[in-house]
Amino acid sequence: MLTSSDDVPEWLKDHTYTISTLWADINNIGIHSIFIKNLTVKQRLVYFYLSVYPYVHTTWEALSLIYMLAYMLQRSRWHHPSMHLSGTELSRLDSDDMPGSTFKSQIPWSQLSFPGKLAQLTTWLTNSTAMCLSTSLSVGIFFLQFLEWWYESDSSAPSLTALPVPSPPKTTNLHGVRPNVCPLCMQIRTNSTVLSVSGYVFCFPCIMSHIGQKHCCPVTGYPANEDHLIKLYEDDT
């Protein structure tokens, strides 16, 4: 059955249109170019094609749209100009158009002769086998593609054991700093907040401001953000 596409595939037409218009724009080619002196016949034909093709393409696409709309509104027997030019019409297939063997009267099984029963049984077995093979092939291909996707996704997943060992934390100069002092402001902590990526405790305003600007722990340099801040409720007693 013919479809709405022309003899030339749609992608080839689109590429031809794009290349021709781009080439014409780059070289400033128009209908006036064919009248330039000192041109060979081949060059004049190329210039004529490049200057005329966009108009022909636009006209053909507009005509195709008109045919399609007319066919949808049942105003035309053809849905595409190429179908009209070739004299091909699309119509529904009825019983009169089918092969005679398909719609001929069915004879009851009891009235069939032995060769007739054997022929009908052979036909049924052949059709059933073909259908089973087709279904099995489709299911098998789907299953193989699923296994391929499964193993690829499994092999591409990063392994925790394959990750590099992180370097040890940088040494800090916090010796002698009392436990209740913030390492940033070096004052007695207020609103104590621990940074979970390093375990150090700071004043909430100090560490919040530092994380917003540096995005790392001020002591160890580990990457951090606001989600790593945990508020502590200390017992003053």
Please tell me the least confidently modeled range out of 28-37, 98-107, 111-120, 152-161.
Answer: 98-107
- pLDDT band of 210, cuts 50, 70, 90: very high
Residues 58-113: tens digit of each pLDDT: 888 899 899 999 988 888 888 888 888 888 887 777 666 665 545 444 667 677 77
- Euclidean distance between CA atoms 190 and 206, whole angstroms: 10
Whole-number percent of the chain with pLDDT over 70: 65
Predicted pLDDT at 190: 85
Predicted pLDDT at 170: 61
More confident residue, 227 or 105: 227
- pLDDT band of 49, cuts 50, 70, 90: confident
Predicted pLDDT at 121: 83
Task: Label residues 9-39 b or e (16+ Cβ within 10 Å = b).
Answer: eeeeeeeebeebeeebeeeebeeebbeeeee
Reply yes or no on whether the pLDDT at 29 is more than 70.
no
Predicted pLDDT at 186: 87
- pLDDT band of 4, cuts 50, 70, 90: very low
197 touches 223 (CB < 8 A): yes
